[in-house]
Chains A and B, each alone.
Chain A
Amino acid sequence: DAGVTQSPTHLIKTRGQHVTLRCSPISGHKSVSWYQQVLGQGPQFIFQYYEKEERGRGNFPDRFSARQFPNYSSELNVNALLLGDSALYLCASSTTGMGFEQFFGPGTRLTVL
């Protein structure tokens, strides 16, 4: 079975631009969560979606938004990019939405210049 997939793998943007990151969960998984991992740090929770509804939001500005589609795939959007948004963006999926059983994708590495 395919695991969590994310696209693109790498992305380079400039300050002020907008970016969209995509995630496809494991088949049968209805929950998707997004995390930001800055180099040398642990992942930080951004959003969780379950059955297309937002279930939780971390301490991130409104420039960050996300949505989940009927097929349970998800997009993370970041507006007005800042240098500090450079990070590995991870998507995780689970069947029930419980954080202790989530599976992570390989991530999208975003570099903001």
Chain B
Amino acid sequence: QKEVEQDPGPLSVPEGAIVSLNCTYSNSAFQYFMWYRQYSRKGPELLMYTYSSGNKEDGRFTAQVDKSSKYISLFIRDSQPSDSATYLCAMMDSGGYQKVTFGTGTKLQVIP
């Protein structure tokens, strides 16, 4: 079993829809939870990160972490065609070095 599970999609939504992206994990030591966006043939771009449980909002993006369920989500409001990309969740513990464990990524397509 992988430490981080993420549905690869693809997920197709109409422009303006609310998008929900999710990951589950098995390692209870994970403390930091990140979401990256990766366009085709580019490096990942950090969208936001959350420490421990709770919600965090940044513009149209909201990240949620439920450590009791080992479940994290990213919501995108008013989705735009420019949001079409692969979204990667990533996690790390508070150990001595900063190994980051990524999900496989969910490919999102926002249709105009």
Contacts and interface: CB of A to CB of B under 8 A. Distances in A.
Nearest to B2: A42
For chain A, give the interface size range.
Answer: 20 to 34
Given A41-B104, A43-B44, A99-B32, A56 B8 contact: no
Contacts of A104: 36, 43-46
A90 interface: yes
B49 A90 contact: no
Given A99-B32, A99-B99, A40 B8 contact: yes
A109 B42 CA distance: 10
A101 B50 CA distance: 11
Interface residues of B, number: 27
Given A99-B32, A100-B92, A45 B43 contact: no
A102 interface: yes
Nearest to A103: B46
A45 B8 contact: no
B97 A48 contact: yes
A100 to B, nearest CB: 4
B100 A99 contact: yes
A98 interface: yes
Contacts of A107: 42-43
Interface in B74-103: 88, 90, 92, 96-103
B21 interface: no
Interface of A: 4, 31, 33, 35, 40-45, 48, 55-56, 58, 90, 92, 94, 97-107, 109
12 contacts: A31-B98, A43-B102, A44-B102, A55-B97, A55-B98, A90-B43, A94-B98, A99-B34, A99-B90, A99-B98, A104-B44, A107-B43
A-B residue pairs, 4 tightest by C-beta: A42-B102, A56-B97, A99-B98, A104-B43
